[in-house]
Chains A and B, each alone.
Chain A
């Protein structure tokens, strides 16, 4: 019978089976708490009748998800905002920092890719600055910018700039000389050559860099928001930890994954749009 199913269908069935198995194991692994009446006197004296803080079972997480997702945008004060609002803040910070980085990285990458001198001049700085953990910039950013919101955006900016810069430079430098010669024999000016030949030729490499960058930016925003606080999904995770609400922590972890996946999927669509076969 399985012979009639396509590869995609078989894979989907397998994924669902794995999900169910995982959830069942998780649910079963949580030790059930005995009701107080079933306890021996000794156990009651040892305090085992108290409700223990444990890892919540998946059913609790699902109930929480339903509750949160059915009203994602409520706002009941600084410590109680809907998950939609928190994620909205995080996406706003990520996109602002990310687009500022793209604004700098792509033109600069073009320059570095087109000029050997620029490449050699910029390379030592890139090599030193690139491996720095973006969070290491945080104290300096807070001191210089004096604004936690802007500092978080700066951290996103600084972490998403490198993959875009390096990939743009690499893509531009690797454009086949034949295609540049086509532009030259057609007397295209340097700006038109850049837009009609080099940009489409390097686009797949540039978009790959942008895809790596958005992934890193989404990783970093959680940590950055844990530090700067106030709003955002990172702050939400930390706040719920302080509240010892592990159900919310697990739910928000899942939401971080889903949003990250959607951001990546958007770039994968873009990547397919600019891809070409030689």
Chain B
């Protein structure tokens, strides 16, 4: 079986628990992400989502295991992996525009000043920031606008993999909706691979091709990979009408509400645990109402013996 674009293999993270022992956050987690795929990861706090994110970004090192992107092992941060942090991480002494050109200059050091600025303005416009507002400092922007700048900075760099760490976590529900639309719009035109952490089930269904579900920690693992069988382009108001929407949503709610606890701490003997692929499609006449069943077409990531 060919390796996926991004492959996480037997990732284990242990921290000292402060009492001489060790705390295993997750152990032998393995999963993959295909090129151009939008993957969300859902799970309760403390299951190690952010740790996985930091390892993917190269900002942290796992206790053991490897992350390979395009066949190359990830070691340290790189411009190929763009990150949008939850707290925006804009540099407060630079204007919105300068924050974006900061990234573009790092990515394309041989571009002229004008080209860098035009490119940055272009991407700011894609998230709805145009005119004088781009000259404002982050402190003069609302939370939603700051996160747009941060998203523009990440997309403008054309990373091979874009990591979003709960980007909308600090925003109110209405702003969140608008920026989700902006994100879909800016993502739609690209073949950008995205890996995103979220706490919001509806957000995950709206954005993702596949949702990875994590059990509670310690010894958390990626238990399931739920395919979102709702065609694109998606729209917040229309997807709720889709027959699959509530079937998928119920499955996710059940998992997070009940099964994530039941599966927690359950040690699996297999040392290369891959998530079980779940495909829920009520529109497929052959499998009507058959949730949790093996799909006909082999999904990209199956628990297979490779």
Check: A66 CB closer than 8 A to any chain B CB.
no
Check: A140 CB closer than 8 A to any chain B CB.
no
Chain A residue with the shortest CB-CB distance to B93: A276
**28 cross-chain CB contacts under 8 A:** A178-B87, A181-B57, A181-B77, A181-B85, A182-B85, A184-B59, A185-B57, A185-B59, A185-B77, A185-B78, A185-B79, A186-B79, A186-B103, A186-B107, A186-B157, A187-B77, A187-B78, A188-B106, A197-B91, A200-B91, A201-B91, A201-B93, A203-B93, A274-B93, A276-B92, A276-B139, A277-B92, A277-B137
Report A225-278 residues with CB < 8 Å from chain B CB.
274, 276-278
Check: B187 CB closer than 8 A to any chain A CB.
no
Check: B83 CB closer than 8 A to any chain A CB.
yes
Chain B positions 80 through 111: 1 when the CB is less than 8 Å from some CB of chain A, otherwise 0? 01110101010111100000001100110000
Chain A residue with the shortest CB-CB distance to B78: A187
Report B110-165 residues with CB < 8 Å from chain A CB.
137, 139, 157
Additional A-B contact list (14), CB under 8 Å, known A181-B57, A200-B94, A277-B92: A178-B89, A179-B89, A181-B83, A184-B77, A185-B58, A185-B77, A185-B82, A185-B83, A187-B79, A196-B102, A200-B93, A276-B139, A277-B137, A278-B92
Q: Interface extent on B, as a size class?
A: 20 to 34
Are A181 and B106 closer than 8 Å at their CB atoms? no
Question: Considering the chains assembled together, what is the distance between the CA atoms of A185 and B129 in angstroms?
Answer: 24
Given contacts A181-B89, A276-B92, contact A186 B59 (CB under 8 A): no
B153 to chain A, nearest CB (A): 9
Chain B residue with the shortest CB-CB distance to A204: B93
The 8 closest A-B pairs by CB, nearest first: A277-B139, A186-B106, A276-B93, A178-B89, A184-B77, A276-B92, A185-B77, A200-B93
Chain B: residues with CB nearer than 8 A to chain A? 57-59, 76-79, 81-83, 85, 87, 89, 91-94, 102-103, 106-107, 137, 139, 157
Chain B residue with the shortest CB-CB distance to A276: B93
Q: Is the interface of A mostly helix, strand, loop or mixed?
A: helix
Chain B residue with the shortest CB-CB distance to A179: B91
A175 to chain B, nearest CB (A): 11
B81 to chain A, nearest CB (A): 7
Residue of B77, B81, B82, B103 with highest tally of chain A CB at under 10 A: B77
Are A185 and B81 closer than 8 Å at their CB atoms? yes
A228 to chain B, nearest CB (A): 42
Question: Considering the chains assembled together, what is the distance between the CA atoms of A277 and B136 in angstroms?
Answer: 12
Question: Considering the chains assembled together, what is the distance between the CA atoms of A274 and B89 in angstroms?
Answer: 19
Question: Considering the chains assembled together, what is the distance between the CA atoms of A184 and B82 in angstroms?
Answer: 11
> Which residues of A lie under 8 Å from residue B87 when comparing CB positions?
178
Question: Considering the chains assembled together, what is the distance between the CA atoms of A200 and B87 in angstroms?
Answer: 19
> Which residues of A lie under 8 Å from residue B59 when comparing CB positions?
181, 184-185
> Which residues of B lie under 8 Å from residue A186 when comparing CB positions?
79, 102-103, 106-107, 157
> Which residues of B lie under 8 Å from residue A200 when comparing CB positions?
91, 93-94
Chain A residue with the shortest CB-CB distance to B94: A200
Are A276 and B89 closer than 8 Å at their CB atoms? no
A205 to chain B, nearest CB (A): 13
> Which residues of A lie under 8 Å from residue B78 when comparing CB positions?
185, 187
Chain B residue with the shortest CB-CB distance to A186: B106
Chain A positions 173 through 213: 1 when the CB is less than 8 Å from some CB of chain B, otherwise 0? 00000110110111110000000110011010000000000
A185 to chain B, nearest CB (A): 5
B142 to chain A, nearest CB (A): 14
Question: Considering the chains assembled together, what is the distance between the CA atoms of A188 and B91 in angstroms?
Answer: 14
Question: Considering the chains assembled together, what is the distance between the CA atoms of A179 and B79 in angstroms?
Answer: 15
> Which residues of A lie under 8 Å from residue B94 when comparing CB positions?
200
B119 to chain A, nearest CB (A): 15
Question: Considering the chains assembled together, what is the distance between the CA atoms of A56 and B98 in angstroms?
Answer: 60
Chain A residue with the shortest CB-CB distance to B157: A186
> Which residues of A lie under 8 Å from residue B102 when comparing CB positions?
186, 196
> Which residues of B lie under 8 Å from residue A184 when comparing CB positions?
58-59, 76-77
Question: Considering the chains assembled together, what is the distance between the CA atoms of A186 and B154 in angstroms?
Answer: 10
Are A178 and B79 closer than 8 Å at their CB atoms? no
> Which residues of A lie under 8 Å from residue B93 when comparing CB positions?
200-201, 203, 274, 276
Question: Considering the chains assembled together, what is the distance between the CA atoms of A184 and B76 in angstroms?
Answer: 9
Question: Considering the chains assembled together, what is the distance between the CA atoms of A178 and B57 in angstroms?
Answer: 13
> Which residues of A lie under 8 Å from residue B83 when comparing CB positions?
181, 185
A18 to chain B, nearest CB (A): 38
Chain B residue with the shortest CB-CB distance to A275: B93
> Which residues of A lie under 8 Å from residue B85 when comparing CB positions?
178, 181-182
> Which residues of B lie under 8 Å from residue A182 when comparing CB positions?
85, 89, 91
Question: Considering the chains assembled together, what is the distance between the CA atoms of A185 and B106 in angstroms?
Answer: 10
Question: Considering the chains assembled together, what is the distance between the CA atoms of A186 and B85 in angstroms?
Answer: 13
Residue of A179, A187, A197, A274 with highest tally of chain B CB at under 10 A: A187
> Which residues of A lie under 8 Å from residue B107 when comparing CB positions?
186
A19 to chain B, nearest CB (A): 39
A271 to chain B, nearest CB (A): 13
Question: Considering the chains assembled together, what is the distance between the CA atoms of A197 and B83 in angstroms?
Answer: 17
Chain A residue with the shortest CB-CB distance to B76: A184
